[in-house]
Amino acid sequence: MSQQNGHKSSGGVVQRPTNPVGIVGYGAYVPRYRLPGSEIARVWTGGVGGSPVKEKAVAGLDEDVVTMSIEAARNALTRAQIDPTDIRAVWVGSESHPYAVKPTSTMVAEAIGAVPNTLAADWEFACKAGSEAVQAGIGFVGSSMGRYVMSIGMDIAQGRPGDALEYTAAAGGAAFIIGPAEDSLAVYEGTYSFVTDTPDFWRRAGESYPSHGDRFTGEPAYFNHTISAAETIMQEMGLTPADFDYAVFHQPNVKFPGRAGKMLGFTPEQLQTGMLVNEIGNVYSGSSLIGLSAILDEATPDSLILYVSYGSGAGSDAMVIRTTERLAERQGLARSTRDYIARRTEIDYALYTRYRGKLKMH
Amino acid sequence: MEVVNYWRMKKQRFGLEGATQPRRDAGESMYHEDTLPHTNGNGSAAATLTLQAERTETTPVDLFTKGVVYSWTTVYNAPAGFDAQAPYTLAMIELDDGSLLTAQLTDVDGEPEIGQRVEMVTRLLRTDGEAGVIIYGYKFRPVLDH
C-alpha cells in the first residue's frame, strides 16, 4: 500500500523515541475477592474437568474500572513523587469502561489532580489497550510534547456464565507514569508491534459478553502475534532470551504464556516473577502490565525485561525494558503487586453473581 | 439534580477536599471548629457547605486521607439509591488532621473497631438508575500494610 501511495518504507521496524523515555512510577491494583475455578466447575460441570487457573480476582460491589484505575494511579504517583499537574496525558485502556460515552480517563485525571491541563482519552484494543497507551506515552514524552503521561491498563473482564472464559475473566491492572529516561526507574530500549486482522475474540456493541473463536484463539491468534513480536524485536536488537533477566507475556491462562515462553527459549525462572494468572486470573488490559509491575517490584537495577502484550483482533506489543539505579529507591514507596494479591477473601458463586450483577432483578 | 451535585461535589468526592473559614479570633488550630462538614455519604451535607459558603468565604483544603474509626453503625435498610450495596457500614472518621467526617467503610468483614486505622479510597457510591450518572466518592477501608 505504501508503494501505491508513492512512499517507500523507512526501514527498521523497532521504534525508539527521539529522546530516551522510561517508567517514572508504576502501581498495581487487584480487588480482594477470589473465586476459585473449582467453584465455577461445581456450578456448571458438576465439578468435572479442570480449571485453566486456580482462582480469579473479582471486584466488589463498589468497584469498577474507574475506581481501580484511580488506586493504581495513586500508587504510581506515590512511587514517581511528581506533581500530578505535570502530567500532560491520562490514558486508560480497558474492555470494561463503565460508560459507553463519558471518559474513564477524565474521572481518573480529576481524582489524581491532573486536571485541567492534560489530554485524556480511553483506549480500546481488547487486552492490549493499556499497552498501546504506554506506547503512545513513549512517543508523546519522547517527542517532548509533555514531561509525563499516565498510561493505565485496567479491566473487570466479562465472562458469560458457564462459558470457558468465566474461569479466567478477572479484575485488576496497573498504571505507569511515562517520563524522561533521566527520571526513570526503568528505560524503554525499543518497542515493536505486530498487528493483523484476526477474528479470534470480539464483543459487538451493546452485547454484555464477548464471543470467541474457541480453538482459533491459539495458534493463529495468541501464538502467532506473541511469538512474532518477541522474535522480531530480539532479532532486530541483537538480543537472545539468555540476555534477559525476566520475560512477561499476556496471560489468558497458565498454559499459553508458559508455552510461548518455552517456544521462544525462555526458562520457567525467567517467566515466574511476572506470571500472576494462576492467582488472579486474566485481567485483560491489565494482564501483561500487572505482570510487569510484579517484576519491577522485585527486580534489581540493570535488569533486562522482555515485555509482550497480546490483544485480540489482533496484535502484540513487544518492549525491551532495562531497570535503572532509581528502581531500588522507589520500589518500597507504594504497595507491591504481591501485597494486593495476598489480600484475599474467597467468595462462592452465589456472592459472585451478586457482585458482578449477574442476577436478573426484574 | 444528580448532575448538579456531581459537578459541585467532584473535588470533595474524588479528592477529599474540605474547606476552612478564617477564625474570628485568629490563631490556633485551623481544624475542628473551622472545618465545614463535608458530606455524610448521601450528599445531604452538601447543602450545609453551600449555606456556610454563602455566609463566609471559605478556603479549599486537602484533608488528610488517613484516620481512625470514631464511631460506626451498620445500615440494613438503606435509603433509595444505596440499597444495591446494603448492608454496609457507615462510620464517623477522625482524620489525622483532626477533622471529623462521615463516610462508608468498605473492604471490611464483620464489625470494625473504634480507633481502627483507616484510609481513604475512591469507590462507587451509587448510580442514578440504569441510564443516569455514576456517583463516585470517598469511602474508608482498613489501612493496608505494605
CATH number of the domain residue A29 falls in: 3.40.47.10
Q: Give a yes or no: residue A11 inside a domain.
A: no
Mean pLDDT across the stretch A192-196? 98
The mean predicted confidence, pLDDT, of chain A is 95
pLDDT at A2 (0 to 100): 42
Domain that holds residue A229: 186-325
Q: Are residues A310 and A195 in the same domain?
A: yes
Q: Give a yes or no: residue A16 inside a domain.
A: no
Find the length of chain B: 146
CB contact under 8 A, A111 and B146: no
Name the least confident of A99-108, A203-212, B38-47, B56-65: B38-47
Q: Are residues A158 and A195 in the same domain?
A: no
Total domain count, chain A: 2
pLDDT at B2 (0 to 100): 84
Q: Give a yes or no: residue A115 inside a domain.
A: yes
**pLDDT exceeds cutoff 80 at A11:** no
Q: Are residues A193 and A179 in the same domain?
A: no
**pLDDT exceeds cutoff 90 at A276:** yes
pLDDT at B93 (0 to 100): 97
**pLDDT exceeds cutoff 50 at A140:** yes
The string of DSSP codes covering B23-92 is -SS--S-SSGGGBPP---SSSTHHHHHHHHHHHS--EEEEPPSEEEEEEEEEESSPPTTTGGG-SEEEEE
B24's torsion region: left (phi>0), alpha (psi -120 to 50) or beta?
A: alpha
A350: helix, coil or strand? helix
Query: Is the bond into B87 cis (omega within 30 degrees of 0)?
Result: yes
A61 to chain B nearest CA, in Å? 6
Q: Are residues A314 and A335 in the same domain?
A: no
Q: Give a yes or no: residue A14 inside a domain.
A: no
Q: Give a yes or no: residue A10 inside a domain.
A: no
CB contact under 8 A, A62 and B146: no
ipTM: 0.93
Mean pLDDT across the stretch B75-102? 95
**pLDDT exceeds cutoff 80 at A342:** yes
Q: Are residues A224 and A117 in the same domain?
A: no
Q: Are residues A34 and A80 in the same domain?
A: yes
**pLDDT exceeds cutoff 70 at A108:** yes
B24 or A121, greater pLDDT = A121
Q: Are residues A346 and A287 in the same domain?
A: no
- Which one is catalytic: A39, A55, A63, A95? A95
Chain B contact set for A66 (CB, 8 A)? 122, 124, 134, 136
Instruction: For residue B19, give the amino acid letter.
Output: A
Mean pLDDT across the stretch B114-136? 95
